[in-house]
Structure 1
Amino acid sequence: MTIERPIPDVPPVGLAALDRRSRDIFRRIVDGYLATGEPLGSRNLSRLLSVSLSPASVRNVMADLEALGLIYAPHVSAGRLPTELGLRFFVDAMLEIGDLSPDDRSAIERQISGANHPRSMEEILTDASGLLSGLSRGAGVVVASKQDPSIKHIEFVPLEPGRALAVLVGGDGSVENRLVALPAGLPSSALIEASNFLNARMRGRTLAEARSAVEEALAAAESEIDVLSARVVEAGLASWAGGGGEQPRQLIVRGQANLLEDLKALEDLERVRLLLDDLESKKDVIELLGRAESADGVRIFIGSENKLFSLSGSSMIAAPFRDGEKKIVGVLGVIGPTRLNYARIVPMVDYTARVVGRLIGQG
């Protein structure tokens, strides 16, 4: 399993800068934070260490770790918590990631695979998002390119002078409507002619497959279709194709309510409120997940390393998934507080991405 990590603004501290005692104390502070969210003080730390060390000696080590920017004191006379830089250092240099148990693998396979009947890509992705949410107690997120179904029927419906409704019915039963501007003085017969022209050339094909064929046919169809009808066809193509822009993306988020659990203070509630606001900003979430598409494996984003979570102080663990042709078609992951259980969630996200990719490849 490969883990790719974004480069933080501040270079991580080298592991060589910490001796064994410092690493042990730092790990205990991080482990305590990931488990409970609470700071650890020198007295409790001295009891947890494998070697005998006085609270005063522990405080000296903590002062060194604080000077390195790895830990901080949330309150006066409080224990210490890891900083975002400290968490990044821990994830990059000290995190020990195991493998999923056979039971965990079976549970993921069973929930995503569902019954033994063919399932749509959206059903698979929705189940994957819900699964990750349930297993992580965070928000499960998936972003993928919207499928381009085959076309069953096309029709232009006049609305008022200068406008018509372009209706595209997909082979999967989906219906898309677009408003189309019409040339001045267009007779109703031109709409019928344009619909017949498109239906003869696009039925059974996806929009991507049919667009170039229709454009070529238009160029050579002077005797088959008049100029005004051709302009209607071109307007419909431009409308359905989004004006030649990027392929539309769908975002699936499950488990936002999980983020409201285990709140310990008012600042936690404010952090979660900001995170929920972030998740409502679909464009930003899609952009962030898109950054993980270039990764060969799991990618971990922590706190202000990305602008989306700069206020809420959240983390995301994400991995791309591929279709049967090994082409990356989407990204899935988990969003939650920075004290996510990284060691458990990283292999979970990685395996879920592989299962989703296999199921999509079979479709």
Structure 2
Amino acid sequence: MSEPQSEIKKLSERSREILRQIVDSYLATGEPVGSRNLSRVLPMALSPASIRNVMSDLEHAGLIFAPHTSAGRLPTQSGLRMFVDGLLEVGDLSTEERRKIEAQIAVRRTKSLDQVLTEAGEMISGLSHCAGVVLAEKQTARLKHIDFVPLEPTKALVVLVDEDQNVENRLIGLPAGLPPSALTEAANYLNAHIRGLTIAEARQAVEVELGQAKAELDKLTQKVIKAGLAEWSGSLDDRKSLIVRGQANLLKDLTAIEDLERIRQLFDDLESKRDLVQILGLAEQGEGVRIFIGSENKLFSLSGSSLIVAPFHDEERKVVGVLGVIGPTRLNYARIIPMVDYTARLVSRVLT
């Protein structure tokens, strides 16, 4: 049994139902709810006094809290997480919503993958009324030629030409004591092995061959080859394309100064691309929809936002990106979870 389910099982039926109603009220209104109002909506007959006793237990367990001096209660992030993991009844998309998503994504034809993903981000932002986010592997052109140009004893320029005749240069460090012939040997070796491959494919193929000692190259030349490919593979930020659409949706219906400050902090968070890339990268490690709530992750610890994302795959079932939405913790999880899941599945279908 999973940990969330196990924790939920520890609660009595009335505790689970009262927690569900408190969270439902919070998601619908953002306002705390008291025992008298709960007694009117609970499917079981409980007096306000009995409800207050249960609420006291839930508060002691860290699942709800009383804001200010209010008699009502709101869910804590732990309570919200327990609700999402075990009490939430996920709905299904309407026929109209499915039609809109399919019309936007299913027909790729003359569109590039970047266009498809950008439109997917815009579409899911519009349907969810949140910010849409997409993180994907950058589409890399096939390689045609690579060369090493010595600049000084410990530096060289790597010149790469792709099949579209685009030329790019990168500076790399050279190992001490490298003979001049090593750069020529490294270029010859790479040009015999990388033509027609992407950088990622070339790096993998060369690493396998060097690891199996199939290449008769000295150690210094191997270091040059690995340094050149590593530089071109780039950092995590360089290899990933991040698309964020619909940030303006997050400014709607704000009523308090603290709400404006929260959204300002969220915008600052979104500018920190590296942190967001790392969070989305976690979603690439599993199947299905992943939900990150508030301070459960470093990125949204101050803005108190939630992230709902799902991975999409290429024809080899390899995860090549994730998509989803960012919004306040008061998201309509029951509606957005299936929306993100269905959109990711459609994008995967387009890529196969």
Classify the TM-score, shorter chain. 0.7 to 0.9
The CA distance in 2 between the partners of 1:231 and 1:62, in whole Å, is 64
Q: Secondary structure at the match of 2:23?
A: helix
- The answer to whether 1:66 aligns with 2:53 is no
The CA distance in 1 between the partners of 2:288 and 2:49, in whole Å, is 43
TM-score between both structures, scaled by the size of structure 1: 0.77
- The answer to whether 1:293 aligns with 2:253 is no
Q: Deviations over 1:203-246 (max 9, x none)?
A: 53333445657998xx7799xxxxxx999988755532449x89
Aligned to 1:17: 11
Gaps of 5+ in 2: 176-181
Classify 1:282/1:173 alpha carbon distance in 2 versus 1 (closer, same or farther; 3 Å). Answer: farther
The CA distance in 1 between the partners of 2:165 and 2:246, in whole Å, is 29
- CA RMSD, 1 decimal: 4.1
Classify 1:91/1:220 alpha carbon distance in 2 versus 1 (closer, same or farther; 3 Å). Answer: closer
Q: How does 1:136-285 map to 2 (within 5 A)?
A: 136-152=128-144, 166-171=158-163, 176-179=168-171, 202-210=194-202, 236-237=228-229, 239-242=231-234, 248-285=239-276
User: What number of residue pairs does the alignment pair up?
Assistant: 348
Q: Secondary structure at the match of 1:140?
A: strand
- The answer to whether 1:82 aligns with 2:80 is no
The CA distance in 2 between the partners of 1:16 and 1:80, in whole Å, is 21
Amino acid across the alignment from 1:168: L
Contact 2:233–2:239 (Cα < 8 Å) also in 1: no
Residue 305 of structure 1, aligned match among 296, 302, 305: 296
Gaps of 5+ in 1: 184-189, 223-228
Q: How does 1:55-134 map to 2 (within 5 A)?
A: 55-114=48-107, 116-117=109-110, 119-134=111-126
Amino acid across the alignment from 2:125: S
The CA distance in 2 between the partners of 1:116 and 1:275, in whole Å, is 36
**How far off its partner does 1:337 sit?**
0.9
Q: Deviations over 1:246-303 (max 9, x none)?
A: 9822222112222122212111122212222221111111111111122221111112
Amino acid across the alignment from 2:334: A
Classify 1:239/1:38 alpha carbon distance in 2 versus 1 (closer, same or farther; 3 Å). Answer: same
Amino acid across the alignment from 2:95: P
TM-score between both structures, scaled by the size of structure 2: 0.79
Classify 1:198/1:59 alpha carbon distance in 2 versus 1 (closer, same or farther; 3 Å). Answer: closer
The CA distance in 1 between the partners of 2:200 and 2:269, in whole Å, is 32
- The answer to whether 1:351 aligns with 2:345 is no
